[in-house]
Copies of this chain bind each other. A is one copy, B any other.
Amino acid sequence: MSEFEEVTTGLGEECGVFGAYDMDGGDVASTVYYGLFALQHRGQESCGIAVTDTYGKRKVLSKKGLGHVNDVFDRESLTELKGNLGVGHVRYSTAGATRVENAQPLVINYVKGTLAIAHNGNLTNAVELRKELEYTGAIFQTTIDSEVIAYHIARERLNTPTAEIAVRNAMKKIKGAYALVISSPRKMIGARDPWGFKPLCIGKRDNTYLLASESCAIAAVGAEFVRDVKPGEIVTITKNGISSDMSMAIPEEEQARCIFEYIYFARTDSTIDNVNVYHARITAGKALAESYPVEADLVVGVPDSGLVAAKGYSEASGIPYGMAFHKNSYVGRTFIKPTQSERESSVKIKLNVIEEVVKGKRIVMVDDSIVRGTTCANIIKMLKKAGATEVHVRISSPPFLYPCYFGTDVPSNEQLIAHSHTTEQIREMIGADSLGYMEIDKLKDMVGDLKYCDACFTGKYPIEVPNEDVSHAFD
């Protein structure tokens, strides 16, 4: 799916998290803002920043809202968010409806002071945990999993000497995908689920420590990448530096990183668990070239997410790489989508073919996925109208067939063209001259030795999943 399709189809990532802790006491709100800005692709529905002053009253100030970081924050609000320890979040709703109440970070007062929690991922046992908590007198004000996590940390904290141990104990109860950034009064804690579904990494700039969903956010704020948080690891950052707790880690073979981070979610310039995303996509393109060679004149990618895989296909096949499309970059949150009755189509408005490039050419067109098929069909039609003589479609992921319980918002089966059609049927429906999906076996080429989760393609879930899709249970 190209990025612009995401707007209409609802396939997307759920969250990005960011934390900053300036040991010298400087304000970090603007650093968190720019960090979130670099993670905006991970969630555009709502965002928030919570800061605390570790030297003074340790009062948590926060601001959250619906929309992009650009929309929610202005110079004035960043200035008011005074504090040297900050946590930020961008959200694409999966579990939990689009309500400002569900925006993160969640800020809670509990027995030991105030916590701010930013969470990326989806718990698989959230429903049971909520019920359990309710039976011991808990009340819930949001429908987000972060509230379940917060309760467990708060309750564990009653009987543990430190916040990080409380986090560890909570992790024994919660199942599923999570990358957490937590600010407790004088600590910043990062944690990643034992399977490593969601990414999290550490950065440093002068005396400021950073946690971020992706390394691109570390780079954006002018900091140095330190290392990834490991699956199952809890890192605690205090004035004394970083300490690590690996006691929740599981054997490496059981790890299950979301492969879609490499295919689509993460930014091309990020490196996750030592695998560069650009590199992974080039590899995917090369694999497609091996699996589905074709005689053609030009390889083109559907902007933005198909571009790198197209480059890989080009490099492996020797067919020249070309820029076939101009993408309108002004599509924002408030863009008015054409209605059915208007003769303009969303695809044409967002994407235009450069006739000069494709005229009279046999084209290999690479994209990262096909969801409903309509956008793909429209683009092929545009290419042919512009004079392309053949359009061979290559998709850098296998067909999407199974629901994800770990945080990726997949359309329901009825909307997924691959669910009820063969590849040949799809090829015909979209009007392609040939169609090739990434082979499941070749996914491993993208990420080297890393263990990953490909359940959405195979149905083989790395951990127990609920009987039915509960991702929207609390909406």
**A residues neighboring B (CB under 8 Å):** 3, 30-31, 33-34, 37-38, 40-41, 62, 68-71, 73-75, 78, 100-101, 106-111, 130-131, 134-141, 143, 150-151, 154-155, 158, 205-206, 216, 219-222, 267-269, 271, 276, 278-279, 304, 307-308, 311, 321-323, 325-326, 328-332, 334-336, 338, 342-345, 348-349, 352-357, 474
Q: Is the CB of A344 within 8 A of B138?
A: no
Whether B336 pairs with A75 at a CB distance below 8 angstroms is yes
Q: Does A38 lie within 8 Å of B328, measured CB to CB?
A: yes
Write the nearest CB–CB distance from A467 to chain B, whole angstroms: 21
- A70's contact among B107, B109, B268, B335, by CB below 8 Å, is which? B335
- Partner of A329 from B135, B304, B335, B336 at Cβ < 8 Å: B304
Do B220 and A139 touch across chains, with their CB atoms under 8 A apart?
Answer: no
CA distance A320 to B34 in the complex (A): 33
What are 17 sample pairs from A and B whose C-beta atoms fall under 8 A apart?
A30-B342, A62-B101, A68-B332, A69-B330, A70-B335, A107-B141, A137-B154, A139-B151, A206-B343, A220-B352, A222-B348, A267-B326, A268-B323, A269-B354, A278-B323, A304-B329, A329-B329
> Are A38 and B267 in contact, CB atoms less than 8 angstroms apart?
no
Which single residue of chain B is at the shortest CB-CB distance from A33?
Answer: B336
Q: How far is the CA of A34 from the CA of B3 in the complex (A)?
A: 19
A337 to chain B, nearest CB (A): 9
Q: Are A71 and B349 in contact (CB under 8 A)?
A: no
Take A68-B332, A220-B344, A269-B353 as given contacts and tell me if A135 and B158 are in contact as well, using a CB distance cutoff of 8 Å.
yes
* Chief secondary structure at chain A's binding surface: mixed
C-alpha gap A143/B40 in the complex (Å): 30
Beyond A221-B343, A222-B345, 15 extra complex contacts between A and B, CB < 8 Å = A30-B336, A38-B352, A40-B330, A70-B336, A106-B141, A137-B138, A138-B154, A219-B348, A220-B352, A222-B343, A267-B352, A268-B323, A276-B354, A278-B354, A278-B356
**A328 near B40: Cβ-Cβ < 8 Å:** yes
Q: Which residues of B contact A107 (CB under 8 A)?
A: 101, 141
Cα distance, A75 to B221, chains bound together (Å): 33
What B residues does A325 contact at CB under 8 A? 269
Interchain CB contact under 8 A, A216 and B68? no
Residues of chain B within 8 A (CB-CB) of A354 are: 268-269, 276, 278
Contacts of A140 in B (CB 8 A): 108-110
Counting chain B CB atoms within 10 Å of each CB, which of A216, A276, A356 scores highest? A356
Across-interface contacts of A334 in B (CB, < 8 A) = 70-71, 74
Cβ contact within 8 Å between A311 and B323: yes
Does A137 contact B158, Cβ atoms closer than 8 Å? yes
CB contacts (< 8 Å) of A269 on chain B: these are 325-326, 352-355
Q: Do residues B137 and A276 form an inter-chain contact, with CB atoms below 8 A?
A: no
Task: Give bound CA distance, A157 to B106, whole Å.
Answer: 26
- Copy total for this chain: 4
Complex CA–CA separation, A31 to B206 (angstroms): 50
**Interface contact B108-A135, CB-CB below 8 Å:** no
In the complex, chain B residues whose CB is within 8 Å of the CB of A221: 343-344, 348-349
The answer for the CA separation of A352 and B355 in the assembled complex, in Å, is 30
- CA–CA, A267 to B74, complex, Å? 31
Taking the nearest CB of chain B, how far is it from the CB of A5, in angstroms? Answer: 15
Residues of chain B with a CB closer than 8 A to A206's CB: 343
Q: State A114–B42 Cα separation when bound (angstroms).
A: 31
A276 closest partner in B (C-beta): B356
A40-B328, A220-B349 as given contacts; A338 in contact with B70, CB under 8 Å: no
Asked if residues A150 and B155 are in contact (CB atoms below 8 Å), the reply is no
Contact of A110 among B134, B279, B323 (CB under 8 A): B134
Q: How many Å lie between the Cα of A127 and that of B237 in the bound state?
A: 31
Contacts of A322 in B (CB 8 A): 311
Quick check: B268 and A343 within 8 Å, CB to CB?
A: no
- From B71, B307, B308, B357, contact of A278 by CB (8 A): B357
Contact of A37 among B33, B34, B101, B328 (CB under 8 A): B328
Contact A336 B222 (CB under 8 A): no
Contact B109 A31 (CB under 8 A): no
How far, in Å, is A204 (CB) from chain B's closest CB? 12
